Amino acid sequence: MVSSDQSAGGIYGRWTLVELLRDRLGLTGTKIGCDRGECGACTVLLDGKAVYSCSQLAVWADGRSVQTVEGLIRGGQLNPLQQSFVSHDAPQCGFCTSGFVMAATALIDRTPKASREDILEALSGHVCRCTGYVKIVSAVEAAAKGDVHPERVEPSFEAEEVEVLIPGSPA
């Protein structure tokens, strides 16, 4: 969460939210991927809704709640969704991970027992160039079910499910 004591000072009207977060506030967990609102790497929560911060002017966030991936950690501990990503080896290079985590956070906050279809829809438009999305979807499914066990990994997909296609993502 961008706290009230984190003042951006004077900001230019042309700055995007991702520029403000990264360059002015030092919150570098939010990534700049395409810078065109096409990949999802810059996803943050604006008033609880997942948005591409590269497509939002910073001034539009004035007075609103902005949550970044850094705001999910409490007391130095990963939240259950983040832990599920780690347990399921969902991140590869990690560049897109914060965007996927933030989109999944918005989904689970809105639909705590999200179905696979809900998850695929929520993650549509997010691009990972390293994986086939299976571990990412499995991590979100486990977190949505409350089945996060850091000490063991039990993927929720069946052996015959070797491909997960997320609408809007390159396949």
- Pair (94, 53) in one structural domain: no
Number of domains forming the structure of the chain: 2
- Pair (115, 90) in one structural domain: yes
Residue 86 domain-assigned? yes
The whole domain housing 108 covers 80-145
Span 12-25, average pLDDT: 93
Residue 106 domain-assigned? yes
> Rg of the chain's alpha carbons, rounded to an integer?
16
- Pair (60, 86) in one structural domain: no
- Pair (91, 139) in one structural domain: yes
- Pair (89, 131) in one structural domain: yes
Using the 3D structure, point to which of 56, 72, 88 is the last residue of a domain: 72
pLDDT value at residue 5: 45
Using the 3D structure, point to which of 51, 72, 93 is the last residue of a domain: 72
Gap between the Cα atoms of 67 and 86, Å rounded: 20
Residue 171 domain-assigned? no
Residue 154 banded pLDDT, cuts 50, 70, 90: very low
Gap between the Cα atoms of 143 and 80, Å rounded: 6
- Pair (54, 85) in one structural domain: no
Q: Tell me the residue ranges of DSSP E strands in 33-77.
A: 43-46, 49-52, 66-67
Gap between the Cα atoms of 139 and 102, Å rounded: 13
Span 8-28, average pLDDT: 88
Residue 54 domain-assigned? yes
pLDDT value at residue 147: 81
Span 76-85, average pLDDT: 93
Residue 58 banded pLDDT, cuts 50, 70, 90: very high
User: Closest Cα partner for 69 from 40, 34, 117, 27?
Assistant: 27
Non-local CB neighbours of 115 within 8 Å, separated by 6+ positions:
none
For residue 133, give the DSSP letter: S
- Pair (89, 56) in one structural domain: no
For residue 42, which amino acid is it?
C
Residue 159 banded pLDDT, cuts 50, 70, 90: very low
Residue 92 has pLDDT above 80, yes or no: yes
- Pair (62, 90) in one structural domain: no
Residue 123: CB atoms within 10 A of its CB come to 26
Gap between the Cα atoms of 97 and 5, Å rounded: 27
CATH number for position 38: 3.10.20.30
Residue 152 has pLDDT above 70, yes or no: no
Scanning the chain, the segments in alpha helix (DSSP H) are: 17-19, 80-87, 97-110, 116-123, 134-145
Tokens of 29: 């967990």
- Pair (27, 65) in one structural domain: yes
For the beta sheet containing 49-52, the strands, ordered from the edge strand earlier in sequence to the opposite edge, are 49-52, 43-46, 66-67
Across the chain, mean pLDDT equals 85
pLDDT value at residue 171: 47
pLDDT value at residue 151: 53
- Collapsing DSSP states into helix, strand and coil, what is residue 39? coil
Lowest mean pLDDT among 28-37, 45-54, 64-73, 156-165: 156-165
Tokens of 38: 């096409």
- Pair (87, 43) in one structural domain: no
- Pair (63, 87) in one structural domain: no
**Is the pLDDT higher at 168 or at 36?**
36
Residue 168 domain-assigned? no
